[in-house]
Structure 1
Amino acid sequence: MFPDLTRDDVFRIETRRLWLRWPCAKDADAIVQLAGDEAVAGMTAAIPHPLDRGTVDGFILGARRDAIEGRSLTMAVAARSRPQTLIGIVGIAPDADAAGPHLGYWLGTPHWGRGLATEAVGAMVEAYFAYTPGTVLTSAARIENAASRRVLAKLGFASEGTALRPFPARGGDLPTERFRLDRRVWERRGAHAAAGLVAVHV
């Protein structure tokens, strides 16, 4: 799905305030702390609570392997002023049950409320449409997760209604709002400008 450009760990995306880069072993403690927070984990399908170091180490290794093979792209989110300090994750991976690949993301609670999720997700979406031939991106958010739903709406994702979606880390299926973004909508909106994208480095 992803081209050679993204398959090396020197690949990164810069926005006005953020770096998006490959996750690495040094990020594990931050992921355990931030993603292990019940307020974060509880809104996701796959992050257990509590979150242990072994699970995180496996996640990082899997993310790097899948990026090398071009199957998916998972990026650590960090402030440009502290590029080695992870504050969240954004990723795009295949979804056999949807019209296109699935976009997922989380941000640690100390960094909520400043538009950073919108900036990070917007940059990732821009990179997807710029560097792959994909025509559609999908996403979903729990009905209770109003902040995540606002992020997707700001970036031009259209709601496709509600449906049950598997949340294995939460013990079963949960109601979500499903979203879709078509390439032509993204191009028409010029959403990359709103996301504050500065540069892509390889």
Structure 2
Amino acid sequence: MFPDLTRDDVFRIETRRLWLRWPRAKDGEAIVRLAGERAVAEMTAQIPHPIVPEAIDAFVLDARRANSAGAGLTLALSLRSSPMHLVGLVGIVRRDEEPCAHLGYWLGRPHWGAGLMSEAVAAMIDAYFAYAGGTVLVSSARVVNPASRRVLEKGGFVRTGTETHAFPARGGDLEVDAFRLDRARWLDGERACAPALSAA
């Protein structure tokens, strides 16, 4: 799905305020601390609460393996002023139940409200369509998470409806708003957040 350019762990995307880089084993503690916070985990469909710290090592290895194979691209978010300190994650992967590539993300609560995730999502959208030649990207946001819906709308995604899915990590069914972005819409630039970015 992703080209050779992204398949080496020196790959990163730089935006105005962020570095998006491959996750590392050293990020595990920050992932447990930030994603494991109830306020963060409950706004997602995939993150369990509490997080089992031992599972994070396997998650990072799986993400790096998928990045290396080009099967997906999961990147750690760091502030440019502190590039070694993870503040969130963003990724594009293929899920068994979905025919299209899926965008997922989370951001640590100390960094909410500053537009950082909109910046990161815009960069990942560009990477998917420009570097990987993607045609369609899908995502979802819990109906109880209006901030996540705004991130997707700023990125140019269009809401396609509300769906109920079984999410074992959350212990039952959850309602999510489904979103879709196709290449034509991306090429038209129909989004509110389009940061300048560079890949290294």
- TM-score class, shorter-chain normalisation, is over 0.9
The Cα RMSD (Å) is: 1.3
Which ranges in structure 1 are unaligned for 5 or more consecutive residues?
none
- The correspondence of residues 50-199 of structure 1 with structure 2, limited to 5 A, is 50-189=50-189, 191=191, 194-199=193-198
What secondary structure, in the 3-state scheme, does the structure 2 residue paired with 1:66 have? helix
Aligned-partner Cα distance in 2 for 1:177–1:190: 20
Give, in angstroms, the shift of residue 37 of structure 1: 0.5
Aligned-partner Cα distance in 1 for 2:196–2:97: 30
Partner of residue 13, structure 1: 13
Aligned-partner Cα distance in 2 for 1:48–1:190: 34
The range that moved more, 129-138 or 95-104, is 95-104
CA contact (8 A) 1:92 1:104 kept: yes
CA contact (8 A) 1:15 1:195 kept: no
CA contact (8 A) 2:156 2:190 kept: no
Give, in angstroms, the shift of residue 100 of structure 1: 1.4
CA contact (8 A) 1:45 1:166 kept: no
TM-score normalised over the length of structure 2: 0.96
Identity %: 59
Residue 113 of structure 1 aligns with an amino acid whose one-letter code is G
What secondary structure, in the 3-state scheme, does the structure 1 residue paired with 2:127 have? helix
Residue 194 of structure 2 aligns with an amino acid whose one-letter code is A
TM-score normalised over the length of structure 1: 0.95
- The correspondence of residues 17-28 of structure 1 with structure 2, limited to 5 A, is 17-28=17-28
What's the CA shift string for 1:71-119, capped at 9, x where partnerless? 1110000000100000000000013433411100000000000000100
